Structure 1
């Protein structure tokens, strides 16, 4: 694999991991979003990836969680219905945090591949200067 191929593949991975990190950040930031029971819950965004034939990866699209969410008893909340319930997103924070770590590690690995490919290319240019 040439340095240019490694840079191209790492570039697609960097973009995909950045999209994943952005989606996770939005999900985590809205994990405690409260809505009235007659409204839809916050819908978490999940990134769908598609492998490319050349070894890279594309973001194929996005999937969203259920708008139903979960109802929680909170009689003192200003948005509570007559029975004292509010609607919350159905998010598993442990899963979101685990995915966040995976996305961060993937991004870091892609950065390292990019640096290594750049170093290889620079070394090849230095050989030509001697």
Structure 2
């Protein structure tokens, strides 16, 4: 096994950890501003979402989306693998993930509260488009994904360490 493949494994997991960190930051901001009706821009807080995309190099989407929309497999029916992960239909492998923060365009919730300082002439207040329960579920998911990447780094580290003892 080539030493570059170990580093590629570290790199993929590091990209995943970074993406989950960005996701956690967005979730934390959403929870903290779930009741913010007036931002510096003037309106209510808009929920932030992190969009993740595979780093280009054929990779993971190649095994999932072939022309027949079936999983690409070996002659024996197994998913193709290389030293650091799943092999795509084009023979490439994923090099990581990119994470970009975006603003959710879901309409704001209108709540009747005529005594609120941000209420309109009809007594309605535009509340942020944040559902705290969904954010908590997303936070658990992001935490578990982060932990999975840490486990992958530790596994690659242990393999590299064990290979030095051979």
After TM superposition, the score normalised by the length of structure 2 is 0.66
Indicate conservation of the 8 Å contact 1:40/1:68, yes or no: no
User: Which residue number corresponds to residue 16 of structure 1?
Assistant: 19
1:42-121 correspondence to structure 2 within 5 Å: 42-52=45-55, 53=57, 54-55=93-94, 56-59=96-99, 61-66=100-105, 69-121=108-160
Indicate conservation of the 8 Å contact 1:43/1:64, yes or no: yes
Indicate conservation of the 8 Å contact 2:112/2:123, yes or no: yes
Between Structure 1 and Structure 2, the one with more helix by share is 1
**Aligned partners of 1:48, 1:32: CA distance in 2, in Å?**
24
**Aligned partners of 2:20, 2:106: CA distance in 1, in Å?**
25
CA RMSD of aligned residues (A): 2.2
1:19-34 correspondence to structure 2 within 5 Å: 19-34=22-37
Structure 1's unaligned 5+ residue stretches are: none
Please identify runs of 4+ aligned residues in structure 1 that moved more than 4 A: none
3-state DSSP of counterpart to 2:51: strand
1:74-130 per-position Cα deviation (integer Å, ceiling 9, x unaligned): 223233344332221012223222211111100000001111111111122233xxx
1:35-66 per-position Cα deviation (integer Å, ceiling 9, x unaligned): 39xx422111111111122422112x232123
Structure 2's unaligned 5+ residue stretches are: 58-92
**Aligned partners of 1:65, 1:12: CA distance in 2, in Å?**
23
Indicate conservation of the 8 Å contact 1:30/1:42, yes or no: yes
After TM superposition, the score normalised by the length of structure 1 is 0.81
